[in-house]
Amino acid sequence: MSYTGLRSLLPKNDLLSFGVLALLLVVILPLSLDIFRLNLIGKYLTYAFVALGLVLCWGYGGILSLGQGVFFGLGGYAMAMFLKLEASSPENTAIQSTPGIPDFMDWNQLTELPWFWEPFHSLGFTIIAIVLVPSVFAYIIGVAMFKRRVGGVYFAIITQAVAAILTILIIGQQGYTGGVNGITDLRTLNGWDIRTDGAKYFFYFLCVFLLFVCLLIAQFVRKSKLGRLLVAMREMEDRVRFSGYDVSNFKIFVFCLGSAFAAIGGAMFTLQVGFMSPTFVGIVPSIEMVIFCAVGGRLSIIGAVYGTLVVNWAKTSFSESFPELWLFAMGALFIAVVMAFPNGLAGLYKKYGEPLLLRVIDKVKAGRGGLGGDLNSKGVVHERQ
Amino acid sequence: MATMRNARPSGLGSKLPVLVKALAGAVAGATMALSAAVHAAPSTAEVNTTNLAVTDDKVTVGILHSVTGTMAISETGSVQAEKLAIEQINAMGGVLGRQIEYIQEDGASDWPTFAEKSRKLLVNDKVAAVFGCWTSASRKAVLPVFEQYNGMLYYPTFYEGLEQSPNVIYTGQEATQQILAGIDWVVKTKGAKSFYLLGSDYIWPRTSNKIARKHIEKLGLKVVGEDYYPLGHTQFNSIINKFKLKKPDVIFASVVGGSNVAFYKQLKAAGIDMTKEKPLVLTISVTEDEILGIGGENIEGAYASMKYFQSLTNDNNKAFVKAFKERWGDDIVIGDVTQAAYLGPWLWKAAVEKAGSFDIDKVREASPGIELTSAPEGYVKIHPNHHLWSKTRIGNAKTDGQYEIVYETPELIEPDPFPEGYQ
């Protein structure tokens, strides 16, 4: 991408917030936290993928999905199926009545691997499935809903129903899915032990890298004509339609994109936490993910990451300090955020943080310009709106 | 084993507080007074070679249960029992001269949270043992963590078996210990010929019913139906109609949690009087804790197959019930799992003292053969497969929410987590 292209994709204020986030995730946190806490941050970041998708769908497109857990779960389960097959080698499962199949299948009296598990022996297939299966599923839901102009509250309700259905399906078909227990005891990825500290560092950085890829895609969408159309649709759908655009296609696209993000998050979750369970597919986690997005500020893609981190960090530390009272503290946090800062953390930052930061940077640059020549004066385009 | 210095008949090391005074000296070391125990205890470098949270006068353990969410109602009893046991052990001078401190974490009825918290306890807090988990799902979630970081979990719930981890001591009964004797009893004394199996839809009821079915069929009797309902299900009318149609002699029920309330109320409302025993209801999932929610009058006449009931009349249990009520209130009830949770800290203490070390590997090595003559359920012993030898007892539910014990197996039953011929 040319310099000007990059500049239009990431104007100065956005570049600054991307930079600060990168500094935090790549340098500060890994240096200051031990591997246990860093692994937790990695786990939180997997939810940030979902929150990021929600910013695009909900914040920009006005499509509130209360079923993003479905896509997170599909991605996570796809990954878990691959890892479980690898962990269930005939040697590891010699104690079972049918060695070579996952343990929960054996408990449920299955004697051979179901057909839809077979392709998950291949890592390549799994990686493609992680992104493709949820996207196709989202496409089907999207076509069925948006082409019929179902939107708003009805769409939210239907996504909830999908989340409920999938949970019931997973729990009910425990011979094929592991049921309530989920798919547990995952050990290696192509022979490489994923439980070691080294692997945890690797997955953390992989997760951060993928998150930035997704953030850049989201930023691209936001800055493109598509992003402006999404906002227009959110504000006045009919007017966009009368202008000759097929509104439903844009909605389907952004919904699929959001679910692909969620699925990548789910797969990274499985890799870092070491198991997948139906608790992430249901209604409650799906709503929680909307809360992450709301706390971060539903119009800010960077805010989604911070929102997820702050809420989950609070959840962990409250529950460590007050095991019996922490839920009340979480409730109070949500109420406080919604009442006091309707635009979330991003709103706070835009109002107070960013002007201050930009002023500081300008000062530094001006000072340096005065002292040691004009380093980058062309770059300092003042484009504060 | 590094040192046998502290080894002694292990039952003695775990007497209950009734005997505290008499035994305090013996427990803290033959000649030590409590105040001197700290100084005379074996040095930390000696009893802790693996960098656990053990200091010269303290040892830290973890308690990991759900105190929020849907499982809180079941798990609270376990938390109370574990805290009581820890306090009693501390009052007796602690373990190897060290007072036990606990870090409590909330699993929040959420399996991934259990995994996160167990990792925290083992990696960050370096606890010497964890007492915790309740559902099979939570145990399955933490199991890889315990195996990876070599922790020791004392797991209190009766469960489906099919597991034997070097990093878990199962203080509850595995499925065969609960089911086989119960079915034998109902066949022998009540002349039962046909059974209807009913359960919540997850691994424990499914495995339990698989074992029950095999056993019933081995005895040459008949299973006339087998049904499962999702967790939290509350509409049992259709299954009650099936009971009326198929007329089984025994309804063998492993419905769990809140579903129990609906099931027994609807059973009663449909005119099935359990005290008439036609059909007879035999449950493996309703302890005194659940009856609090169901209401004694709604379940009167049902039979339960457990290893412990609050109404046991041995001296150990009388002292345990008294201490429990003093600590946690008079209106509290004690179920099977609560008692099993209470065993955890005592078994751990006995193993640590036998090993003369807090190191997980040494505690593991010392565990098989540990006996507890002071257990409220009577006497238990750790089998090399990490489960407990225990008796099966049959209780008959009364309106006051207690069970009247009508039968107990004469011998301890050997734990058999991978039963031949039942898989």
In a domain, B204, yes or no: yes
Nearest-CA distance A263 → chain B (Å): 18
Nearest-CA distance A302 → chain B (Å): 26
Residue A189 DSSP class: E
pLDDT digits 0-9 by tens, A243-255: 999 999 999 999 9
Q: Is A320 on the interface with B (CB under 8 A)?
A: yes
Q: What is the pLDDT of residue B2?
A: 37
Residue A316 half-sphere exposure toward CB, CA atoms < 13 A: 23
Which of A320, A325, A326, A328 should we substitute to test contact with B (largest number of B Cβ atoms within 10 Å)?
Answer: A320
Q: What is the pLDDT of residue B28?
A: 42
Q: CA–CA separation, A144 vs B259, rounded Å? A: 36
Q: Is A94 on the interface with B (CB under 8 A)?
A: no
Nearest-CA distance A378 → chain B (Å): 49
- Are B57 and B111 in contact by the 8 Å Cβ rule? The answer is no
Contact A181 B111 (CB under 8 A): yes
- Are A200 and A30 in contact by the 8 Å Cβ rule? The answer is no
In a domain, B378, yes or no: yes
Using an 8 Å CB-CB cutoff, list residues of chain B that contact chain A. Answer: 67-68, 104-106, 108, 110-113, 115-117, 119-120, 123-124, 135-137, 140-141, 143-145, 148, 160, 162, 201-203, 206-207, 210, 230-231, 418, 423
Q: Label residue B63 by pLDDT band (50, 70, 90).
A: very high
pLDDT digits 0-9 by tens, A271-322: 999 889 898 888 888 988 998 998 998 889 999 999 999 999 988 888 888 8
Give me the interface pTM, i.e. the ipTM: 0.79
Q: CA–CA separation, B206 vs B227, rounded Å? A: 10
Contact A180 B123 (CB under 8 A): no
Residues of chain A with Cβ-Cβ distance to B105 below 8 Å are 319-320, 323
- Are A88 and A103 in contact by the 8 Å Cβ rule? The answer is yes
Residue A192 DSSP SS3 = strand
Q: CA–CA separation, A205 vs A366, rounded Å? A: 35
Closest alpha carbon to A27 in A206, A205, A198: A205
Contact A180 B202 (CB under 8 A): yes
Q: CA–CA separation, B143 vs B150, rounded Å? A: 10
Nearest-CA distance A71 → chain B (Å): 18
Question: Does B316 score more than 50 pLDDT?
Answer: yes
Angle at the Cα of B274 from the Cα atoms of B273 and B277, rounded to 5 degrees: 110
Place of tokens 């509409």: B235
Question: Does A142 score more than 90 pLDDT?
Answer: yes
Torsion sign over Cα B202, A122, A88, B145: negative
Q: What percent of chain A has pLDDT over 90?
A: 57
Contact A323 B206 (CB under 8 A): no
Contact B230 A326 (CB under 8 A): no
Judgement on whether residues B54 and B197 belong to the same structural domain of the protein? no
Mean pLDDT of chain A: 88
- Are B169 and B384 in contact by the 8 Å Cβ rule? The answer is no
Question: In chain A, which residue's Cα lies nearest the Cα of B211?
Answer: A107
Residues of chain B with Cβ-Cβ distance to A40 below 8 Å are 116
Nearest-CA distance B88 → chain A (Å): 23
Cβ-proximal residues to A299 (8 Å cutoff; 6+ apart), any chain: A55, A59, A60, A343, A346
35-74 in A: which are within 8 Å (CB) of B?
35-36, 39-40, 43
Question: Does B149 score more than 90 pLDDT?
Answer: yes
Which of B106, B143, B157 should we substitute to test contact with A (largest number of A Cβ atoms within 10 Å)?
Answer: B106
Q: Label residue A369 by pLDDT band (50, 70, 90).
A: low
Task: Report the 3 state secondary structure along chain B.
Answer: CCCCCCCCCCCHHHCCHHHHHHHHHHHHCCCCCHHHHHHHCCCHHHHCCCCCCECCCEEEEEEEECCCCCCHHHHHHHHHHHHHHHHHHHHCCCECCEEEEEEEEECCCCHHHHHHHHHHHHHHCCCCCEEECCCHHHHHHHHHHHHHHCCCEEECCCECCCCCCCCEEECCCEHHHHHHHHHHHHHHHHCCCEEEEEEECCHHHHHHHHHHHHHHHHCCCEEEEEEEECCCCCCCHHHHHHHHHHCCCEEEEECCCCHHHHHHHHHHHCCCCHHHCCCEEEECCCCHHHHHHHCHHHHCCCEEEECCCCCCCCHHHHHHHHHHHHHHCCCCCCCHHHHHHHHHHHHHHHHHHHHCCCCHHHHHHHCCCCEECCCCCCCEEECCCCEEEECCEEEEECCCCCEEEEEECCCCECCCCCCCCCC
Judgement on whether residues B359 and B259 belong to the same structural domain of the protein? no
Q: CA–CA separation, B41 vs B37, rounded Å? A: 6
Question: In chain A, which residue's Cα lies nearest the Cα of B113?
Answer: A316
Closest alpha carbon to A60 in A271, A205, A190, A226: A226
Q: CA–CA separation, A251 vs A145, rounded Å? A: 10
In residues, how long is chain A?
385
Q: Which residue has the higher pLDDT, B411 or A368?
A: B411
Question: Does B60 score more than 60 pLDDT?
Answer: yes
Nearest-CA distance A160 → chain B (Å): 19
Q: Among A171, A186, A277, whose Cβ lies nearest the Cβ of B230?
A: A171
Take residue B166 and report the two structure tokens written for it. Answer: 């070097």
A261-265, A286-290, A329-333: range with lowest mean pLDDT: A329-333
Contact A36 B119 (CB under 8 A): yes
User: Residue A38: what residue type?
Assistant: L
In a domain, B354, yes or no: yes
Q: Which residue has the higher pLDDT, A370 or A127?
A: A127
Cβ-proximal residues to A28 (8 Å cutoff; 6+ apart), any chain: none
Contact A279 B112 (CB under 8 A): yes
Question: In chain A, which residue's Cα lies nearest the Cα of B69?
Answer: A327
In a domain, B352, yes or no: yes
Question: Does B103 score more than 60 pLDDT?
Answer: yes
Q: Are strands B250-254 and B194-200 parallel, antiparallel or unpaired?
A: parallel
Take residue B68 and report the two structure tokens written for it. Answer: 């929020």
Which of B104, B143, B203, B259 should we substitute to test contact with A (largest number of A Cβ atoms within 10 Å)?
Answer: B203
Size of the A and B interface in Cβ pairs below 8 Å: 100
Take residue B271 and report the two structure tokens written for it. Answer: 């005119």
Q: What is the CATH number of the domain that holds B86?
A: 3.40.50.2300
Helices A123-146 and A247-273: crossing angle in degrees, nearest 10, is 140
- Are B302 and B273 in contact by the 8 Å Cβ rule? The answer is no
Cβ-proximal residues to B213 (8 Å cutoff; 6+ apart), any chain: B197, B223, B226
| Greatest Cα pair distance in chain B | 72
Judgement on whether residues B168 and B186 belong to the same structural domain of the protein? no
Residues of chain B with Cβ-Cβ distance to A97 below 8 Å are 423
Q: What is the pLDDT of residue B423?
A: 67
The dihedrals phi and psi of B413, each to the nearest 5 degrees, come to -100, 135
Which of B68, B168, B416 should we substitute to test contact with A (largest number of A Cβ atoms within 10 Å)?
Answer: B68
Q: Where on the phi/psi map is residue B54: left (φ > 0), alpha (ψ -120 to 50), or beta?
A: beta
Q: Is A98 on the interface with B (CB under 8 A)?
A: no
Q: Among A179, A319, A324, whose Cβ lies nearest the Cβ of B202?
A: A179
Contact A320 B140 (CB under 8 A): no
Q: What is the pLDDT of residue B21?
A: 45
Question: Does A11 score more than 90 pLDDT?
Answer: no
Residue A112 DSSP SS3 = coil
Stretch B202-230: mean pLDDT:
91
| Greatest Cα pair distance in chain A | 79
**C-alpha distances in Å from residue B155, one per residue of A187, A226, B387:** 23, 55, 10
pLDDT digits 0-9 by tens, A111-128: 899 999 999 999 999 999
Question: Does B6 score more than 50 pLDDT?
Answer: no
Q: What is the pLDDT of residue B311?
A: 96
- Are A105 and A176 in contact by the 8 Å Cβ rule? The answer is yes
Q: Label residue A264 by pLDDT band (50, 70, 90).
A: very high
Q: CA–CA separation, B420 vs A323, rounded Å? A: 42
Q: What is the pLDDT of residue A368?
A: 66
Contact B206 A180 (CB under 8 A): no
Judgement on whether residues B296 and B379 belong to the same structural domain of the protein? no
Q: Which residue has the higher pLDDT, A95 or B262?
A: B262
Q: What percent of chain A has pLDDT over 70?
A: 95
Judgement on whether residues B180 and B149 belong to the same structural domain of the protein? no
Nearest-CA distance A55 → chain B (Å): 25
Q: CA–CA separation, B45 vs B42, rounded Å? A: 8
Q: What's the domain range around B211?
A: 175-306+393-408
Question: Does A138 score more than 50 pLDDT?
Answer: yes
Contact A184 B201 (CB under 8 A): no
Q: Is A172 on the interface with B (CB under 8 A)?
A: yes
Contact B144 A186 (CB under 8 A): yes
Judgement on whether residues B269 and B299 belong to the same structural domain of the protein? yes
* Count of domains for chain B: 2
Residues of chain A with Cβ-Cβ distance to B232 below 8 Å are none
Number of other CB atoms surrounding residue B389 within 10 Å: 17
Judgement on whether residues B115 and B44 belong to the same structural domain of the protein? yes
234-273 in A: which are within 8 Å (CB) of B?
273
- Are A308 and A45 in contact by the 8 Å Cβ rule? The answer is yes
Stretch B155-180: mean pLDDT:
94
A121-135, A173-187, B141-155, B318-332: range with lowest mean pLDDT: A173-187
Stretch A47-53: mean pLDDT:
96
Measured in whole angstroms, the distance separating CA B35 from the mean position of its chain's CA atoms is 34
Judgement on whether residues B169 and B180 belong to the same structural domain of the protein? no
Judgement on whether residues B332 and B379 belong to the same structural domain of the protein? yes
Nearest-CA distance A206 → chain B (Å): 20
A318-327, B10-19, B312-321, B384-393: range with lowest mean pLDDT: B10-19
Nearest-CA distance A36 → chain B (Å): 7
**C-alpha distances in Å from residue A264, one per residue of A139, A249, A320:** 16, 23, 29
Question: Does B12 score more than 50 pLDDT?
Answer: no
Residues of chain A with Cβ-Cβ distance to B206 below 8 Å are 107-108, 174
Mean pLDDT of chain B: 88
Question: In chain B, which residue's Cα lies nearest the Cα of A279?
Answer: B110
Q: CA–CA separation, B381 vs B371, rounded Å? A: 4
- Look up the pTM and report it: 0.84
Nearest-CA distance B381 → chain A (Å): 25
Question: Does A100 score more than 60 pLDDT?
Answer: yes
Q: How far apart are the first and last CA of chain B?
A: 36
Contact B106 A34 (CB under 8 A): no
Q: What is the pLDDT of residue B30?
A: 43
Residue ranges per structural domain of chain A: 3-372
Q: CA–CA separation, B172 vs B396, rounded Å? A: 21
Contact B201 A40 (CB under 8 A): no
Contact B230 A181 (CB under 8 A): no
Q: What is the pLDDT of residue A116?
A: 94
Q: CA–CA separation, A292 vs A47, rounded Å? A: 8
Q: CA–CA separation, B148 vs B160, rounded Å? A: 23
Contact B67 A324 (CB under 8 A): yes
- Are B105 and A320 in contact by the 8 Å Cβ rule? The answer is yes
Q: Is A331 on the interface with B (CB under 8 A)?
A: no
Q: CA–CA separation, B121 vs B10, rounded Å? A: 28
- Are A264 and A130 in contact by the 8 Å Cβ rule? The answer is yes
User: Residue B376: what residue type?
Assistant: P
Contact B108 A320 (CB under 8 A): no
Residues of chain A with Cβ-Cβ distance to B123 below 8 Å are 35-36
Q: What percent of chain B has pLDDT over 90?
A: 74
Closest alpha carbon to B356 in B24, B19, B17, B43: B43
